[in-house]
Structure 1
Amino acid sequence: MLFTENKSKKALISSEEQGSQKKRDKKKGKKGAKALADGISSWATSVNSDGVVPAWSDASVDKLQVNIEDRSRLRKLKKEEGETLVTGDIYMKRLQDHYNTTSGAADLFAWAKPQPPKPSHHSENIDEEDPITQLLKSNTSVFSSHTTGLLKPGQRLDYTKLQHANNGSYHASVVTAVEFHPSEEGLLATAGLDRKVQLYSVARERESQKVQTIVLPDLPVYQAKFIGDGSQMIISGNRKYFYYYDLEANKLEKVHGVHGGAFSNTGDALTSLTRLFTPPSPQADLFAFADGDSGSISVLSQKTKKMAFELKLSSSSCTSVGFSGGPDPRLLYAVGDQAEIYVWDIRHSRKCLSKVQDEGCFNTTHLTVSADGSQLATGSHSGVVNVYKTETEGKPLTLVKSILNLTTAITDLKFDPTGQLLAVCSKWKKNALRLIHTGPGGTFTTYQNFPAGHAVGVLKYPLCMGFSSDSQYFAMGNDEGKAHLWHLSHFSGRVNSD
C-alpha cells in the first residue's frame, strides 16, 4: 500500500514537472522566433559593398576577437608586424583570400560576382560587347586557346588534389616507384620494398580501383617500369637478377643476372640492379642498368632482355642515365659523382662525343631528358637543378637556367610528356616537391601554389614521381607507402591540333 502511494506521488510530481517544462519551452520558442525574426530583418536590411543582399549574415561575427598570433598556423594571416587580434569578419575575409591565393581558385566563382551592365543589343560597336558575342561574330575557333596545348607560365597552377591512388591498400614500406602506362590513360603502377607492384585505374570522377597486385617472392622492389607498348614491365632491385612481367599473359619471369659486363666489378654480372632507366619513347627497344660502383652502363634489348652493349664512365660511379627522344634514340646521356655529363652516340659509333661539366654542381644525383629530347635537367646533392637545351648552336648542351628552390639532395626529376613541366623532389625534407614551368617562353617559373594548401609535412618525404601519358595526372610516392595523386586541369582541356 505504501509502495502504491509513493508511486502515485512520483507520477503527480512528474506530471507537474512536464507541465512546467512545456511552459518554459513555449517561452523559449517565442524568444527564438523573435530572435529569428530580428535576424531576418537584419539580413534583409544588410547590403554589402557591391549593393547586393548577402545570402546569409551573422552580426555576432563582428563582435568576435580572433588571436592570430597564438597559433603558428594562423600567423600567415597577419598583414602587419605585431598584429595580434582581428575581428571575426576580418578573420573570415583573410581566410578566404588565403584559400583563393594558395588553391589557384581565385576566379572559380567569378561568374557569381556582379557584372557591369551589358550594352544594348542594338549597339554596333563590337568592342563594347561581351566576349561571347565577340566570339560568335568572329571566325575564331572556340577551342583556339587549347589547340597548342601550351601551359601558361605564372604563379598559380590549376590542379585538383585527388585521393591517394592506392587508398586503402598502402605499401607496407616506402614507395620506391610510381609509373603510368605509356598508352592506357589512368593506369598507374606503384612499387615498394614490401616486394609488391600494384596496378591501379585512376580517374578524377571516382576513387582509384586496384587492378592487379604482383608479388615478388624474393625481391624488394626499387624500380618498376613499363617497356615497349606497355604490355611488359621490368622490375628490379638490389639483387643480381631482375624480373619482367607480361601484363597480357599475367606471367612473371626471372632473368638471372646481366652478363657480359667487361667493366663491372665481377667481370660477368652486375651485383645490384637498383638503377634502371628506359627511353621516353615506348617504341624504343632499349633499357639500361647503371652500376654505382664501377661506373659502367649495361644497355639491354627490351625484346630479348639480353646485353646489347656496354659503356663506361671515367669516374668511379654512374648515378643516372637518360636517352634522347624518338623510336630509335641516337644519344645516351649519363652522369656520375664527378658532376660531368657524358654524351654518347649509341646509334652508330657508340663513342663518347663530349663531356660537359654540370655547372655549379659537385655531385650530380639525377638526370632526366624530355620526351622530344630537346631539354635535359640535372639535380645535385646540394639541391641545385640545372636545365639545359640539347644540341643548340653546335653545342651538345647549353645551360639555360639554374633553379635553387630546394636545398637538399635531389631524389627524382621528371618532365611531363609535353615538356612544359618539370617535377623535382627530395626525400631528405618533408614536402620537398616542386613543379616548374619549362615550356615556351623560357620563364622557368616555380608554381607557388603547388603543393600549397597542404600543411608542411602532410606529403611527408617524397621519393619518386610520374606523369600520365596525357599529362592529366601526376603521382608522387612517399615514405609512408602512399601514392599521392593530382589532376592537372589544364591538360584535360587540351585539344590536339591534328
Structure 2
Amino acid sequence: MQSAITSLSFHPTYPLLLSSGPSSTLYLHHINPNPPTPNPLLTSFHIKHTPLTTTAFHPSPSDSRIFLSARRRYFHVWDLTTGSIEKVTRVYGHQHEQRTMEDFSLSPNGKYMALRGSAKKGGGVINILDARTLQWVTQVRIESGGGVADFVWWGDGSGLSIAGKNGEVTEWSVQDGVLGRWIDEGAIGTTVIAVGGKSGRDEWLGGDRWLAIGSSSGIVNLYDRRAWLEDSTSIPSSEDTNNGLPKTPKPVRALDHLTTPTSHLAFSPDGQIMVMASRWKHNALRLVHLPSATVFKNWPTSKTPLGRISAVAWGRPSQAEERDGCLALLSVGNEMGRVRLWEVRA
C-alpha cells in the first residue's frame, strides 16, 4: 500500500479487516498477529478508475457482502460467498440529489443504508435505502445552513443523529421522522459526529449514552444523553415541544487536546473508550476514558508511529483475546498507506 488509507472496517464476527484508499484497491486481511506472517492478506479487489472513499462489511454476521463507494455516481456491492459484484448506478426518483455515492453508512441492525445527498438547497439531504434490495425507502432533510457535516446511525439502527455544518443536530427516527433538534455548544465548523455506550433505555434515541461532536477548531464536545433522559422526565408533556431533547444542552466536557480540525471520532464497542483524531497534524490522536471523560496520558507516546491519520476503526476481540484481557481492537490507517493494529487491554 502506497496511498492514503481512506477507510477501515472490521467484520462483526470474524477476525477480518478491510482497508482501502484512492488506489482503487480494497484489501482483506485475516487478523492474526502470530508469526510467521502476521495479519496475512487474504485477497484484494481492484475497481478501475474508482478511488475508494468508504468501504464496509455488512453488519449482519450472516450477510457476506462488502459495500464500496467513491466520489462517483455509483457504488459497488461485493458478495464474498458468491464472488458476484453488483454496481448500483442510481437512486430511482432521487438521482438529482445523489450526484455522488461517496459517503454512506450501514445501520447496525443491517436493515438500511444511508447515503449523504449532494443537494444543499434549504439544508441537506440523506437518502435511506433498503440494505437488502438497495431500493430507496425514505429520506431525511435537515434545515441546517451549509448542509450535512456528518451523520451517524443510532446503536440499534432505528434512526440517525445528523450534524449540520452550522452546529445544529437533528435526531431522526426511521419510523417517526424528526424527533427534535438541538444546538452543539459553541459550534464553529462542525466536522464529525459519533455515538456509543448504553444509556439503559434502548427505546430512546437508539439506546446510546454518549454523543461526541468534533469541529474545525479541534474542540470535541462530549454529551451524556442518559442525563437528558433523566431531565426529560421532569418536563410536563404539554410543555415538551422537542420530545425530551434539550435545545441547548451542556457538554459533559469540551476536549481541547486536538489543535487542528477533528477528522475522526469513534467509540469502542463497549463504550468505555473514545478515540479522537485529526489528519492535519502528525500523531494527532487521543484516547478518552468513559465515563470519567479524561484523556489517557500513557498512550499514544511521542514514539508511537501514527503519522498523519486518515482512518480509524474499532473491532471486537475474539473470545480467546477476551479471556486474555483484551477489551477491544483499534486500527489506525495513515496517509502513507500503513495500517497499524493495537489490542486495548484492561
TM-score by length of 1: 0.58
Structure 2: where are the runs of 5+ without partners? 199-207, 233-243, 318-326
Structure 1: where are the runs of 5+ without partners? 1-169, 491-498
Partner residue of 1:209 out of 40, 52, 68:
40
Partner residue of 1:415 out of 264, 267, 272:
267
Give the counterpart letter for 1:301 in structure 2. Answer: D
- Tell me which residue corresponds to 1:287: 113
- Alpha carbons of 1:453 and 1:487: their partners in 2 closer, same or farther (altered >3 Å)? farther
| Deviation at residue 292 of structure 1 after TM alignment | 5.1
- Tell me which residue corresponds to 1:189: 18
Q: Could you tell me whether the CA contact under 8 Å between 1:292 and 1:318 is conserved in 2?
A: no
- Tell me which residue corresponds to 2:238: none
SS in 2 for 1:396: coil
Give the counterpart letter for 2:269 in structure 1. Answer: P
- 1:258-407 aligned within 5 A: 258-261=91-94, 267=96, 269-279=97-107, 281=108, 283-291=109-117, 293-294=119-120, 295-315=124-144, 316-326=146-156, 329-347=157-175, 349-350=176-177, 352-370=178-196, 372=198, 373-390=208-225, 391-392=228-229, 393-394=231-232, 395-396=244-245, 398=249, 399-407=251-259
Separation of aligned partners in 1, 2:42 and 2:343: 20
Does residue 459 in structure 1 map to residue 306 in structure 2? yes
- Tell me which residue corresponds to 1:239: 72
Separation of aligned partners in 2, 1:449 and 1:297: 40
- Tell me which residue corresponds to 1:60: none
Segments ≥4 residues shifted beyond 6 Å: none
Give the counterpart letter for 1:473 in structure 2. Answer: L
Deviation readout 1:182-208 (Å, 9 max, x if unpaired): 111x21000100001101012343311
SS in 2 for 1:459: coil
Separation of aligned partners in 2, 1:489 and 1:205: 17
Separation of aligned partners in 2, 1:360 and 1:382: 11
| Range that drifts further, 301-310 or 442-451 | 442-451
Deviation readout 1:409-460 (Å, 9 max, x if unpaired): 111111011000101111111100111112xxx31111112111516xx421
Name the larger-Rg structure: 1
Partner residue of 2:329 out of 473, 479, 482:
473
Give the counterpart letter for 1:178 in structure 2. Answer: L
Q: Could you tell me whether the CA contact under 8 Å between 1:243 and 1:252 is conserved in 2?
A: yes
* Residue-pair matches, total: 303
Q: Could you tell me whether the CA contact under 8 Å between 2:9 and 2:56 is conserved in 1?
A: yes
Separation of aligned partners in 2, 1:454 and 1:357: 38
Q: Which has the higher helix share?
A: 1
Q: Which has the higher strand share?
A: 2
Give the counterpart letter for 2:158 in structure 1. Answer: R
Q: Could you tell me whether the CA contact under 8 Å between 2:98 and 2:118 is conserved in 1?
A: no
TM-score by length of 2: 0.83
Separation of aligned partners in 2, 1:194 and 1:221: 7
Give the counterpart letter for 2:93 in structure 1. Answer: G
Separation of aligned partners in 1, 2:188 and 2:265: 18
| Deviation at residue 300 of structure 1 after TM alignment | 1.0
- Tell me which residue corresponds to 1:428: 280
- Tell me which residue corresponds to 1:445: 294
Q: Could you tell me whether the CA contact under 8 Å between 1:293 and 1:318 is conserved in 2?
A: no
